[in-house]
A and B are shown apart, each in its own frame.
Chain A
Amino acid sequence: GAVVSQHPSRVICKSGTSVKIECRSLDFQATTMFWYRQFPKQSLMLMATSNEGSKATYEQGVEKDKFLINHASLTLSTLTVTSAHPEDSSFYICSARALQGAGGYTFGSGTRLTVV
């Protein structure tokens, strides 16, 4: 079945630095990838939707200059948390969809970001 690989699984960074998280679809081409944020014991909150070769669409309240998304190819999307602060500490999860309107959604294994 469809597999989405997300790296790193855990990252600790200092306040003020930037962190990049990668999301790769391993055995299918993902025209659309999604980035979620999940707080402890809560549901997934969609941050942005990225389409290959175009700008990401951000959800209301999500700072696009802070959470930079790049979807340069059909198998790779990256989320960069810029100038990270402790309040950015969270579990970030990506998801990919193979076919517009038809394919199911496959999730990565998540990235635990801790900003110290």
Chain B
Amino acid sequence: GENVEQHPSTLSVQEGDSAVIKCTYSDSASNYFPWYKQELGKGPQLIIDIRSNVGEKKDQRIAVTLNKTAKHFSLHITETQPEDSAVYFCAASRAGANNLFFGTGTRLTVIP
């Protein structure tokens, strides 16, 4: 089955700096890669996703890049703000499957 690894487990950045979280996956058939933000006591919220037919996707301060050959994808947050502080999870899914495989999460702290 799919194995998704995520690094780092914790990340602290100064407000205004950029944050990068990286994930690798093992199943070359995976083709859908969402990123979720989870605040304390709440369910995960989708912040951005990418499918395997594109290499990069951007939405304002958030971007995701995908390297299919290397089987890794990354989340980039620019101009970080204190409200970006949360736990971020990457995930992977394959076409025709009905499940998401989650990374282990990254606790991001943005220091004002």
Chain A residues with a Cβ under 8 A of chain B:
4, 6, 32, 34, 41-44, 46, 49, 91, 93, 95, 97, 100-101, 104-110, 112
Contacts and interface: CB of A to CB of B under 8 A. Distances in A.
B46 A109 contact: no
A14 to B, nearest CB: 23
B44 A49 contact: no
B98 to A, nearest CB: 6
Most chain A CB neighbours (cut-off 10 Å) among B34, B45, B49, B98 = B98
Contacts of A109: 42-43
Q: Is the interface of B mostly helix, strand, loop or mixed?
A: loop
B2 to A, nearest CB: 12
Interface residues of B, number: 22
Interface in B77-98: 89, 93, 95-98
Given A43-B105, A107-B36, A93 B98 contact: no
* Residue of A32, A49, A107 with most chain B CB atoms under a 10 A cut-off: A107
Name which of A4, A6, A32, A41 has the most chain B CB atoms within 10 A of its CB.
A41
Given A43-B89, A44-B102, A101 B95 contact: yes
Given A42-B105, A107-B44, 12 more contacts: A34-B99, A41-B105, A42-B104, A43-B102, A44-B44, A44-B102, A104-B46, A105-B93, A105-B100, A107-B45, A108-B43, A110-B41
